[in-house]
Amino acid sequence: MEMNYRVVDKEKYYRSGVFRHFTEDCKCSTSMTARIDVTDMVEHSKRTGTKFYINFLYLLSKVLNSRDDYKMGYLWQSEELICYDSIHPIQYVFHKDTETCTPVYTTYYEDYEVFYRNAVYDVERAKKTREYGLDMMNHPNWFDN
């Protein structure tokens, strides 16, 4: 998959002070946690016979792709702040028999039907392997959930 991004001018970035602190003083990454009411989504999933988790994954991906701030990365080697055109989810399939998991890479598509169909296919394919297969080198614009 091609990774398209644009370089962000760090000095003109509206959060340049915060960016400088967390890249020079702390050198850390970010994560987000939020409490949300998923009652309507549970009902929708039951009513439509679709998988709740994949529906949730679609909405999460859609939200994260809606703001440039959520699609940013930092290339340490070139010291460039970048913004990807899009980011994609990684989910995991747990294998009870081996107590291991396999990462599942699903490309985000704004079209729900395309995303849902691909995500279901990706999960079913991952269930057939016991390979760990985490490949962050070739998937820098992917997010864990």
Question: Domain segments of the chain: what residues?
Answer: 5-144
Strands annotated E in 16-123: 72-75, 80-84, 88-95, 100-105
Asked if residue 69 has pLDDT above 70, the reply is yes
Rounded Cα gap, residues 115 and 48, in angstroms: 16
Place of tokens 């967390």: 22
pLDDT tens for residues 77-132? 898 999 999 999 999 999 999 999 999 999 999 999 999 999 999 999 999 988 88
CATH topology classification for 5-144: Chloramphenicol Acetyltransferase (3.30.559)
Maximum pairwise Cα distance, the chain: 52
pLDDT tens for residues 17-39? 888 887 788 877 777 788 999 99
Strands 100-105 and 5-8: unpaired
Is the Cα torsion angle 5, 10, 11, 16 positive or negative in sign?
positive
pTM of the model: 0.84
Mean pLDDT of 47-52: 98
pLDDT recorded at residue 132: 82
